[in-house]
Structure 1
Amino acid sequence: MFHLRLYMEYLKQYMKVRLAYRWDFVAQFVTDFLFQAINLVFILVVFGHTNNLNGWSQAEVIFIYGYFLIPWSIFVAFFNLWDFNERYIIRGELDRVLTRPVHSLVQVIMETMTPESLIGVITGLIVMGWAMTDLNLTWTWYDPIWFILFTLGGVAIYAGIFISLTSISLFTDSKSDIQPIMYNIGNYGRYPVNIYHRVIQFVLTWILPFAFVGFYPASYLLDKANWQWYAFLTPIVGMVFLGIGVMIWNVGIRHYRGAGN
């Protein structure tokens, strides 16, 4: 409850700052929507030249993309760590964070959140609904529960990976350019994993498990029995990678020497 109250206070302050420039706030919503729409157009262009993608129909691929947007948008909204190196290491703001009686990672997450990115959740649901008009899907009463668990697992996977990458700067005290590369690799999870080479499939499943963020859970919701056991692993994989990320962060904080050294 303490962290929830603290989060609400951070959220109030964030909204006050953002709404001081209302059109800029609105422009962020529009920009995020257009960015997601461009990726959808890319899928439509691909299917303009083929009827299926290694056995996957256009509606199924669109459904997978729509589902992927939901955990991805939640991750971006609450784990916006892209400028951590510049802001907290190079400018020394991490020293300020470490003087407060709240876990450093929790503070950084609250200070860098971008709630407007949650527009992607709405976009994802709309895209999924559009795709479902062409799909004969039958959901049971417990599928929405799995949907929530899969989503939380996907957010945890992304968070764990990017917290681990962010923690590298705690050891080096300098900028790291790995995150943009990992961001591009993460985009592979929004498409059917079996369209890639087997080596890439293995990497996206067990090394950098971005396939658990979009493809495997969406396949279960599409009644694809071949992938359902992978889907059920999503929450477990999420907890493992988030745990690893927090562990690396804690070790990095103990190793951090301060901006003045």
Structure 2
Amino acid sequence: MTWGLFFKLITLLTKEKMIYRADFILAAFAQIISYAGDYLVIWLFIRKFNAIAGWTWPEIALLYSIGLFTYALGASFSFVQMRGLEEQVKSGTFDSLLIKPVNPYLYLVCRGFNLGYLAHIVISCTVLLWAVSSLDLEWTWARVFYLIAAIIGGAMIQAGFMSIIGSTSFVWVRTGFLFTLFFRIKEFISYPLPVFGTLIQIVLTFVIPFAFINFYPVAFLLSHETPLLPAWTMWLVPAVGPFCYWAGYRIWMLGVNKYQGAGG
């Protein structure tokens, strides 16, 4: 698949969404209100206790915003696409992707690009910019590059894991419960990692590396301690994302090779 075809698909999908512009705007507004409620709950909780594990409200707002922002970026190219694989495998409509002269994974993620995550991006970026302006941080070009690389890496971690979940459709067909589990585990990264016990910290660092989505990069930028990793490894944090996405892609392609037609 060429970049020209990629942008052509994105353009066509955007035009399709804009046909029902009012519906799109209302849905986006509803999502913004929903996530504003999440921010409010966290703010009220911190207001009662002043800080959580030594993290203040602006710091946790930055942590949560990066988690939400990276989810929006990663999910726009993976969630709807991978969640819908279950039905495509059951009905046999997935077969139509395999006869196209393009990489099936790239075609699937581009064809299903979800413009609806724009609302997530708007509210997360707004709070992120407020949090950054509220914190006394010394910004250098190296730190700016690190933040951008960490955001891209966080998006790739989430897209990679959703791709892995999607790949199980080719074997188990039903994968809805795995997405539910994914979102339940992802709730842990709304708060600083030291809030949880050692076992959960180990799982979120070495087993399901969701802590690399936002906790480790934000802790590095804010000069907070990282309980399980030494300070020098923080420069390697953005590399976790590309690895997770590469692994997700390879596992997905392996699942395609095991696909035997309608019903899995």
What is the TM-score when the length of structure 1 is the normalising length? 0.91
Q: Deviations over 1:9-53 (max 9, x none)?
A: 212221222122111111222122122211101111111321111
1:248 corresponds in structure 2 to 251
Q: Which has the higher contact order (CA 8 A, sep 6+)?
A: 2
For residues 95 and 215 of structure 1, what CA distance do their matches in structure 2 show?
40
Letter in 2 for 1:40: Y
For residues 147 and 154 of structure 2, what CA distance do their matches in structure 1 show?
10
1:172 corresponds in structure 2 to 172
1:216 corresponds in structure 2 to 216
SS of residue paired to 1:177: helix
1:163 corresponds in structure 2 to 163
2:69 corresponds in structure 1 to 70
For residues 39 and 260 of structure 1, what CA distance do their matches in structure 2 show?
38
For residues 188 and 19 of structure 1, what CA distance do their matches in structure 2 show?
35
SS of residue paired to 2:223: coil
- Alpha carbons of 1:146 and 1:102: their partners in 2 closer, same or farther (altered >3 Å)? same
1:184 corresponds in structure 2 to 184
After TM superposition, give the deviation of residue 131 of structure 1 in Å.
2.2
SS of residue paired to 1:144: helix
Letter in 2 for 1:150: A
Letter in 1 for 2:72: S
2:261 corresponds in structure 1 to 258
Identity %: 26
For residues 225 and 4 of structure 2, what CA distance do their matches in structure 1 show?
42
1:212–1:231 CA contact under 8 A, matched in 2: no
For residues 230 and 84 of structure 1, what CA distance do their matches in structure 2 show?
37
Matched, 1:239 2:253: no
1:198 corresponds in structure 2 to 198
Matched, 1:50 2:49: yes
For residues 50 and 151 of structure 1, what CA distance do their matches in structure 2 show?
29
- Alpha carbons of 1:212 and 1:260: their partners in 2 closer, same or farther (altered >3 Å)? closer
- Alpha carbons of 1:3 and 1:253: their partners in 2 closer, same or farther (altered >3 Å)? same
For residues 51 and 262 of structure 2, what CA distance do their matches in structure 1 show?
54
For residues 72 and 191 of structure 1, what CA distance do their matches in structure 2 show?
15
1:154 corresponds in structure 2 to 154
For residues 236 and 200 of structure 1, what CA distance do their matches in structure 2 show?
22
After TM superposition, give the deviation of residue 209 of structure 1 in Å.
0.9
For residues 199 and 147 of structure 2, what CA distance do their matches in structure 1 show?
28
For residues 140 and 231 of structure 1, what CA distance do their matches in structure 2 show?
16
Uncovered stretches (5+) of structure 1, i.e. residues with no partner: none
1:189–1:212 CA contact under 8 A, matched in 2: no
Deviates more, 1:98-107 or 1:77-86: 77-86
Deviates more, 1:170-179 or 1:99-108: 170-179
1:71–1:152 CA contact under 8 A, matched in 2: yes
Count of residues in Structure 1 that have an aligned counterpart in Structure 2: 260
2:38 corresponds in structure 1 to 39
What is the TM-score when the length of structure 2 is the normalising length? 0.90
2:164–2:252 CA contact under 8 A, matched in 1: yes
- Alpha carbons of 1:127 and 1:176: their partners in 2 closer, same or farther (altered >3 Å)? closer
